[in-house]
């Protein structure tokens, strides 16, 4: 009964993944062979002698980059664009690692300007941390800068 | 038989086939044939005349030779396609050519896109997901909007028609439309992308660009001492300059344009005069 049933199963069904477990090794081999045959028949090829490309010893290259050791195309000097300057060093150091010039870059903001800036900053930040009552003590001068006014609080005797 | 072939080849090129090492730094003309030094070794002193290169004839190990711009390989012959001076670079440990690199140092204004070149292009059109970029070649290059650093389908780069693009060719051959990108293989911009909106763009010859980008170029070193400036060189002959004022920008542009045909002394004079003013 069981054997009869087995023969009834079609080949396509037997080939399915979940049927593979129950198959014995013989039928498995058979199926594999059949599959190989089908694939082999479907493959086609040109009946030509194999093309042998002659190995060439001249290599064509149309880029000047390989010929002349050209630098990277973006440049910045004297601190105009610090980002590009950093990039320049990085890209050009690939070619020659030994030359790393230590040029002192001219800063965008001079020291004097910086000092002036921080001077006013003292007031601005100071205002932020001051209590509401004290905030009136910070008042803007003619430059728009905020400066603390130092007024000593003391007892004022009421006038009679 | 081999001799007959070589004679025929000689007659084809008008008997002008010269050995490449003997014409180094001399002018070569299109159509000329060059002989590589390996061939002479085979002939030896007893062989007498030189023959056109037959690279596959010998069984001994050959060195690979790279032929750069201006030279073309035809079969196993080496032909010149541009007029200019023949240059040679000894092989370095990094490059592939065991026999070094030969190329022709030519003067020209017309740019032909080459894969890997960094160029300055002008965006001429926006169509769908690509930009058309004019690079001075025979055909505008295409540039995908995804080929920018940090660009995604949602996050489009802010590129308008008329913007200047500094980018690199990934596809450039004689049969296809050239294609540019503004990122390297790691996806980083590395200075590529849209160049600032101000500044001045002008065109020079391709030879001058190479001269200025040479590692020991005096002109650039001198120019860098004059003013704070930013400068971008495209291998397609375009230079973009920006300095703090318009006047300085114009001066720099004029210097760079003029310095092509000046001697070192003339340049020195001009730079000293500018440094004073």
- Hey, is the C-beta of B91 within 8 angstroms of any chain A C-beta? no
Q: Please give the ipTM for the structure prediction.
A: 0.75
Cross-strand partners of B266: none
Do A58 and B116 lie within an 8 Å CB cutoff? no
- Domain locations in chain A? 64-96
Q: Which residue out of A52, A54, A56, A77 would a mutagenesis test of the B interface target, given it has the greatest number of B Cβ atoms within 10 Å? A: A77
Residue A88 has pLDDT above 60, yes or no: yes
Domain covering B117-194, topology:
OB fold (Dihydrolipoamide Acetyltransferase, E2P) (2.40.50)
pLDDT at position B265? 92
The whole-chain average pLDDT of chain A stands at 75
Number of neighbouring beta carbons within 10 Å of residue B229: 21
CA A114 – CA A118 distance, rounded (Å): 6
Please compute the mean of the pLDDT values over residues A96-114 and round it to a whole number.
59
Secondary structure of residue A90 in the 3-state scheme: helix
Q: Any residues with CB less than 8 A from the CB of B148 and at least 6 apart, and which?
A: B157, B159, B182, B183, B189, B193
pLDDT at position B195? 92
CATH of domain B200-276: 3.30.1370.10
Residue B252 has pLDDT above 70, yes or no: yes
Shortest Cα distance, chain B CAs vs residue A39, angstroms: 37
Do B210 and A70 lie within an 8 Å CB cutoff? yes
pLDDT class for B122, splitting at 50, 70, 90? very high
Cross-strand partners of B143: B131, B180
Would you say B70 and B82 are in contact if contact means Cβ atoms under 8 Å apart? yes
Phi, then psi, of A14 in degrees rounded to 5: -65, -30
- Domain locations in chain B? 17-35+64-106, 117-194, 200-276
pLDDT class for B5, splitting at 50, 70, 90? very low
Shortest Cα distance, chain B CAs vs residue A121, angstroms: 28
Q: List residues in chain A touching B: CB distance below 8 A.
A: 54-81, 84, 87, 91-92, 95-96, 106
Q: Which residue of A has its CA nearest to B243?
A: A80
CA B36 – CA B55 distance, rounded (Å): 10
Phi, then psi, of B66 in degrees rounded to 5: -100, 130
* CB nearest A77 (choices: B89, B115, B228): B228
Do B116 and A63 lie within an 8 Å CB cutoff? yes
Q: Which residue of A has its CA nearest to B87?
A: A67
Please compute the mean of the pLDDT values over residues B78-105 and round it to a whole number.
80
Reply yes or no on domain B17-35+64-106 having CATH 2.40.50.100.
yes
Would you say B43 and B86 are in contact if contact means Cβ atoms under 8 Å apart? no
Please report, rounded to a whole number, the percentage of residues in chain A having pLDDT higher than 70.
71
Lowest mean pLDDT among B17-21, B105-109, B148-152: B17-21
Please compute the mean of the pLDDT values over residues B264-271 and round it to a whole number.
90
């Amino acid at each position: 009964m069981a054997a009869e049933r087995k023969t009834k199963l079609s080949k396509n069904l037997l080939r399915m993944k979940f049927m593979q477990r129950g198959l014995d090794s013989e039928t498995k081999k058979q199926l594999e062979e059949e599959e190989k045959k089908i694939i082999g028949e479907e493959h086609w090829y040109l009946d030509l002698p194999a093309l042998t490309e002659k190995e060439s010893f001249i290599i064509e290259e149309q880029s000047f980059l390989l010929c002349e050791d050209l630098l990277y195309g973006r440049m910045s000097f004297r601190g105009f664009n610090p980002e590009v300057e950093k990039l320049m060093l990085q890209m050009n150091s690939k070619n020659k690692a030994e030359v790393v010039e230590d040029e002192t870059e001219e800063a965008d903001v001079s020291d004097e300007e910086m000092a002036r800036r921080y001077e006013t900053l003292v007031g601005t930040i100071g205002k932020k941390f001051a209590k509401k009552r004290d905030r009136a003590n910070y008042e803007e001068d003619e430059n728009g800068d905020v400066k603390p006014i130092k007024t000593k609080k003391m007892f004022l005797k009421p006038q009679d | 038989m081999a001799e007959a072939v070589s004679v025929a080849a000689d007659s084809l090129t008008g008997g002008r086939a010269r050995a490449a090492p003997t014409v180094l730094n001399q002018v070569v003309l299109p159509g000329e044939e060059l002989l590589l030094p390996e061939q002479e070794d085979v002939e030896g002193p007893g062989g007498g005349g030189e023959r056109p290169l037959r690279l596959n004839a010998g069984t001994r190990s050959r060195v690979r030779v790279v032929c750069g711009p201006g030279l073309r390989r035809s079969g196993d012959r080496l032909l010149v396609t541009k007029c200019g001076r023949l240059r040679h670079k000894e092989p370095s440990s990094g490059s592939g050519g065991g026999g070094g690199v030969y190329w022709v140092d030519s003067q020209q204004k017309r740019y032909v896109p080459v894969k890997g070149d960094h160029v300055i292009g002008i965006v001429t059109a926006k169509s769908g997901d690509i930009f058309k970029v004019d690079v001075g070649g025979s055909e505008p290059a295409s540039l995908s909007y995804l080929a920018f650093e940090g660009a995604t389908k949602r996050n489009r780069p802010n590129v308008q028609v008329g913007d200047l693009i500094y980018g690199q060719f990934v596809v450039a051959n004689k049969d296809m439309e050239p294609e540019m990108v503004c990122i390297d293989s790691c996806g980083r911009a590395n200075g590529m992308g849209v160049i600032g909106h101000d500044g001045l763009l002008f065109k020079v010859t391709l030879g001058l660009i190479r001269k200025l980008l040479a590692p020991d170029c005096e002109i650039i070193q001198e120019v860098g001492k004059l003013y704070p400036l930013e400068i971008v060189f495209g291998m397609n002959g375009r230079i973009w300059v920006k300095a703090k004022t318009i006047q300085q920008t114009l001066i720099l542009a004029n210097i760079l344009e003029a310095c092509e045909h000046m001697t070192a002394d003339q340049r020195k004079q001009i730079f000293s005069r500018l440094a004073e003013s």
